A and B are shown apart, each in its own frame.
Chain A
């Protein structure tokens, strides 16, 4: 199975600070159809996860554009340009290229 390694496990930030989360895969996530199915989710405390970014860099409808995704192959990054209070929670990367799909262990974003 594909292993996704997320770093850091915990991130402390002040409001307005820009932060990045890394997600590295044990195998290339480039599908034979040319797409890369690496997505980013946010789980706020007490809530279900929600989709932020799909297919590496595509912003889900309604998600603020301070969120952005980049990367290719095995190395991916989620960036938040100017953290806001509502961004606190746990961020997960998930790959849908290979079966079974797998999640990263999560990165908890806290207020400093």
Chain B
């Protein structure tokens, strides 16, 4: 059964760095890409970036200077790090399997507040 589970802190202070982990099961990170998507409360979906099956990464142009995506294939984990967080980075962060955006994790709510 294919599953993705996001984890990370629920609260981050302004100007700090967000670190999230996506743990996958039921498929290999060397066979599928994993994407990160976020959703501000009450708003639409925003594509953040991806870790391709071959280790390559690509990022949303607007976030590229603050964002880094990496992985540990031995632990079946993909990591997201984004620095200089501000209040408009508040929202739900999802990871999803590439090759069709299927399936999605349950999401992790991140609040940026002092």
Which residues of A come within 8 Å of B, CB atoms?
Answer: 1, 39, 41, 43, 48-51, 54-55, 60, 90, 92, 94, 96, 99-106
**In the complex, chain B residues whose CB is within 8 Å of the CB of A55:** 100
In angstroms, how far is the closest chain B Cβ from the Cβ of A42? 11
If A39-B101, A60-B102 touch, whether A100 touches B59 (CB-CB below 8 Å) is yes
Q: Are B58 and A100 in contact (CB under 8 A)?
A: yes
**In the complex, chain B residues whose CB is within 8 Å of the CB of A99:** 58
Q: A50-B102, A100-B61 are in contact. List 13 more A-B contacts (CB 8 A).
A: A1-B61, A41-B45, A48-B105, A49-B45, A49-B96, A49-B104, A50-B104, A51-B100, A90-B44, A94-B101, A100-B47, A100-B58, A103-B46
**In the complex, chain A residues whose CB is within 8 Å of the CB of B103:** 50-51
In angstroms, how far is the closest chain B Cβ from the Cβ of A110? 15
Report the tally of A-B residue pairs with Cβ distances under 8 A. 58
Q: Once the chains are docked, how many angstroms separate the CA of A1 from the CA of B50?
A: 15
**In the complex, chain A residues whose CB is within 8 Å of the CB of B30:** none
In angstroms, how far is the closest chain B Cβ from the Cβ of A71? 17
Q: Which of A39, A90, A102, A106 contacts B47 (CB 8 A)?
A: A102
In angstroms, how far is the closest chain A Cβ from the Cβ of B47? 5
Q: Offer 6 A-B interface pairs, CB within 8 angstroms, sorted by A.
A: A41-B101, A43-B45, A49-B96, A60-B100, A103-B44, A104-B44
Q: Once the chains are docked, how many angstroms separate the CA of A101 from the CA of B58?
A: 9
Q: Are A48 and B94 in contact (CB under 8 A)?
A: yes
Residue of A nearest to B47 (CB): A101
Which residues in window 15-71 of B have CB below 8 A to A?
35, 37, 44-47, 49-50, 58-61
Q: Are A49 and B101 in contact (CB under 8 A)?
A: yes
In angstroms, how far is the closest chain B Cβ from the Cβ of A29? 14
In angstroms, how far is the closest chain B Cβ from the Cβ of A91? 11
Residue of B nearest to A95 (CB): B47
**In the complex, chain A residues whose CB is within 8 Å of the CB of B45:** 41, 43, 49, 92, 94, 103, 106
